Amino acid sequence: MSEAPFDLAIIGGGIGGYTAALRAARRGMRVLLAEREHLGGVCLNAGCIPTKTMLHDAKLYRDAASGAYGMAFDGLRPDYAKLLARKTSVVTGLRDGLRGVLESAGVHLVAGTARLTAPDTLVVTASEGSQRFASRSVLVASGSRPIRFRVPGADLPGVLDTTAILSRPVLPRQLVIIGASVSGMEFACLFQALGAQVTVLDREFFIREADQQLAKRLQTRLRQSGMVIRIGVEVECIERAGDALRVTYSERGETSGAEGDAVLVAIGRVPESSSLGLAELGAAYNGPTIAVDAQLRTTLPGVYAAGDCIGGMMLAHVAGYESDVALRNILGEPTAADYRVVPACVYTLPEIAGVGLNEAQAKARGIAHRVTRYPLSANGRVQSLGEPEGQIRLLADEAGVLIGAQLYGEGVSELVAECALAIRLGASVRDVAETIHAHPTLSEAVAEAAALHDVPRKALL
């Protein structure tokens, strides 16, 4: 065991873990961070960053190949090896930078699998052996893993999860995606932009997490572009069909199939929390998730948890926020987690973003509200970018206070933060409309949508 106990030991080096480690170290705490794989967790290594890097490159290729931007190329094709190499370079650079920042702050980094043997003691095991550490407080930020798909043939070569597909060396010509989830549809757009024929299958929903009015618009757009999307189907099995894989599914009592040289399973994630020693110590669970209270405390004294391992929204920025709430409570600053204003983005082509309430939620809660819709086609910057489809939709209560924003179109993931800040501060739509926005910018569309709230309803019809 180390000579002196740490003030804080953190299990998991993802965004929840490293955010807490850095902030705690800067507050003068002696911090240990244990990570069994790569610093940065899923988001940096196998999620947010690599997929957005590849999406950016895929969109560049798609736009150049379209011939609509004053460019002409003979024999233009994607160089998938270079695309993967750039993705790896971006990830490695950020990971190395993260390690440097943590080490400079004095965080003690330990590689290996961590397990609690007591609320104030953890053992970290690596190939070279085990180390035991004592700590006054513990934060569990162990993340999540892809849900295993359990149908016949799901273990065949070429059936990949959202982590494995990022390292597949060959660009698929035909790709079948099981799961019209956020990650499933981002991959669908990525590979379609690179020229693949994409088929998406889902049992129930098309991007369940998104505003369904905007999700329907996106679904229509993608179908018009040639993507095959089947919602309400039951996948029965996956089989080898020559050089391809065939996914057999039933739809309204009829059996059909879709073939691809790869199959991506994107049906969600499950908390990574079963091998931490918590259950053996008596910690409470809610199914697979670690049970916590509003202060992110587990039922073990001095042990907190944050991020995907406690369920909830399973978003990287939520994990970072939760780890900050946990740290404040560890430091004796009573803080309860508040999820009323959480922006969410879907990085499809085009994007969907939202924060606060949508129309269905406002109606369900009995909140009187007014909605305005501003078409992105009226925005000069959007037109200059060549992506005119989209909409900004703002909801305000009877007093004119902004309570929700739903956005669809080019670059809307960069616009949702303004809406989130306005909602959090209790700003009115007039406050947003009267704030000078630079011209020409995408952000002007938010101000224009806000200004419509002062227009009589009849004038908007």
Nearest alpha carbon to residue 310 among 296, 327, 300: 296
96 CA to centre of own chain? 22
172 cis-preceded (ω within 30 degrees of 0): no
**Contact at 8 Å (CB) between 16 and 152?**
no
Torsion of CA 105, 106, 110, 115, to 10 degrees: -90
- DSSP assignments along 429-444, one per residue: HHHHHTS---SS-TTH
Q: In this structure, are residues 199 and 191 in contact, taking their beta carbons and an 8 Å threshold? A: no
Q: Is 439 a catalytic residue?
A: yes
Amino acid identity for residue 354 in this structure: G
CA distance 116 to 282: 11
* Beta strands in 2-112, from DSSP E residues, in sequence order: 6-11, 31-35, 108-111
Collapsing DSSP to helix, strand or coil, 194 comes out as coil
The residue behind tokens 């098309």 is 206
CB distance 405 to 337 below 8 Å:
no
Q: Can the peptide bond before residue 440 be classed as cis, meaning omega within 30 degrees of 0?
A: yes
**Other CB atoms within 10 Å distance of the CB of residue 318:** 22
3-state secondary structure of 95: helix
Structure tokens belonging to residue 290? 């670690």
**Which residue is catalytic, options 56, 437, 439, 453?**
439
What is the biggest distance separating any 2 CA atoms in the chain, rounded to whole angstroms?
Answer: 74
Of 270, 284, 357, the C-alpha closest to 314 is 270
Among the listed residues 158, 135, 171, the one whose alpha carbon sits nearest the alpha carbon of residue 247: 158
β-partners of residue 131 are: 124
Residues serving a catalytic function are 439
